[in-house]
Amino acid sequence: MATTRQPTLPDAPARMPVWAPVWVIEDPPVGPGHRPRPDPAAARPALAIAGRLGVPFRRIGPSDGRRPVGSAPALIVSSGLRAAAQALLVKARHGTAVVHCRQTATRLPERLLAAPFDLLVLPSSGMRPDRGAPLGRILSILGQPQAVSPGLLARARVLWADRLAHLPWPRVAVLLGGGAPSLGAVVALARRLTGLVRARGGCVLASALPECPPRIADAFAAGLSEAMHLVYRAGEPGPDPTLGFLGGADATIVAWTGPQALSEACATDGPVFVVDEPTIQDARPPSRAGSDAGGALLGQLLGLDLVRRWGRDGPADPLAPWPRRPLDESGRIARVILRRYAGLADRSLEPDLPERA
């Protein structure tokens, strides 16, 4: 699954109360073959949701759920199968409310759909309305909850303004993944962007994502040689400017990557285009947006006109905006939680809860 890097998240204060009203329990993010992903860019949906609640929270490992009597929180936000089991154990012992979010790389078993979660957050493509959990306990969302939000991008735009001040406008941000059908397709896209920004007197701000091979990043940079551009490769020394690129761009192009990068790009308020097919003739079939999950998300975003296809020749005017709302599913989930648990924000210093009989 393609990802952008993990931004700084609102976490629990350094001097935290003995009792925090929210716990976050997550399985380690997994990649292809259900192998653990150690990189910090991996999606952590429960953490993204908790960071938007505006209350202190504590991160608990899936094997650390057994706590002394009286230390249970008011709410647990979980993701992953082991985390779900641990959260339900705490709920059974203490009556704690549990919000569970399905991880992208895992399939929620049918038995868990009927488990006593207070709220089950599922990508809309994964809903099965005819079986499992009652619809009143299911919150359908687009893609996965992301830490990247319109507010975070607005702050990144301000933080990176001075460092990017030497670059001309308009600016086109590119999130470059590793699923290009050929190096020729990569160069063709770069040359198309070169013609665009040179005609407008602007520049290209490209971020080669962690899954982008060096040869693809190098080919893209070579194709931009006649335009003003800046290419950041994941892992390079120094601060990661990707959020600054997204926050300050007039338009964003998501090229050959997956659902997380696509969702994060959609948090911007400008035009967003997706490259999910070869830009030149090629013997290989067009690439999907990363995976089945990415393809389903792309179809939904296209249907809602939150993104548009770049296409073989690109749009007539990729800098022309259209009415679209920034995507912020983590914020929407947080608002639902705060409405259901109206007193949560006032309980950060609540004393220990008694254990349920």
Specify if 226 maps to a domain: yes
Q: Do 82 and 181 sit in the same domain of this protein?
A: no
pLDDT at 281: 35
Q: Do 176 and 299 sit in the same domain of this protein?
A: yes
Q: Do 253 and 159 sit in the same domain of this protein?
A: yes
CB–CB of 181/278 below 8 Å? yes
pLDDT at 125: 58
CATH number of the CATH domain containing 104: 3.40.50.2000
Specify if 324 maps to a domain: no
Specify if 15 maps to a domain: no
Specify if 354 maps to a domain: no
CATH number of the CATH domain containing 227: 3.40.50
Q: Do 250 and 167 sit in the same domain of this protein?
A: yes
Q: Do 136 and 172 sit in the same domain of this protein?
A: no
Q: What is the DSSP string of 138-197?
A: EEEESS---S--HHHHHHHHHHTTTTTTTS-SSEEEEEE-S--S-HHHHHHHHHHHHHHH
Q: Do 217 and 301 sit in the same domain of this protein?
A: yes
Distance CA 293, CA 310 (A): 20
Distance CA 203, CA 249 (A): 10
Q: Do 162 and 142 sit in the same domain of this protein?
A: no
**H-assigned helices in the chain:** 45-50, 81-94, 110-113, 150-159, 183-200, 214-223, 242-248, 259-265, 292-303, 329-340
Specify if 304 maps to a domain: yes
In sequence order, which residues have a C-beta less than 8 Å from that of residue 130 and are 6 or more positions away? none
CB–CB of 226/185 below 8 Å? no
Specify if 133 maps to a domain: yes
Domain holding 39, by residue range, is 22-146+329-346
Q: Do 95 and 181 sit in the same domain of this protein?
A: no
pLDDT at 80: 87
Q: Do 156 and 305 sit in the same domain of this protein?
A: yes
- Half-sphere exposure for 72 (CA within 13 Å, toward CB): 23
Structure tokens at 168: 């001309």
Q: Do 300 and 154 sit in the same domain of this protein?
A: yes
Specify if 28 maps to a domain: yes
Question: Which ranges of the chain have pLDDT less than 50?
Answer: 1-18, 32-41, 68-70, 105, 126-134, 278-291, 348-357
Evaluated on CA atoms 51, 141, 32, 284, the torsion sign reads negative
The total number of structural domains that make up the chain: 2
SS3 content of the chain, % helix, strand, coil (to 5): 30, 15, 50
Q: Do 134 and 243 sit in the same domain of this protein?
A: no
Distance CA 349, CA 264 (A): 34
Phi and psi of 149, rounded to 5°?
Answer: -135, 165
Specify if 319 maps to a domain: no
Evaluated on CA atoms 109, 113, 115, 119, the torsion sign reads positive
Q: Do 26 and 55 sit in the same domain of this protein?
A: yes
pLDDT tens for residues 253-311? 999 998 889 999 999 999 999 997 543 333 333 344 344 556 788 889 999 999 999 97
Phi and psi of 57, rounded to 5°?
Answer: -140, 160
Q: The pTM is what?
A: 0.82
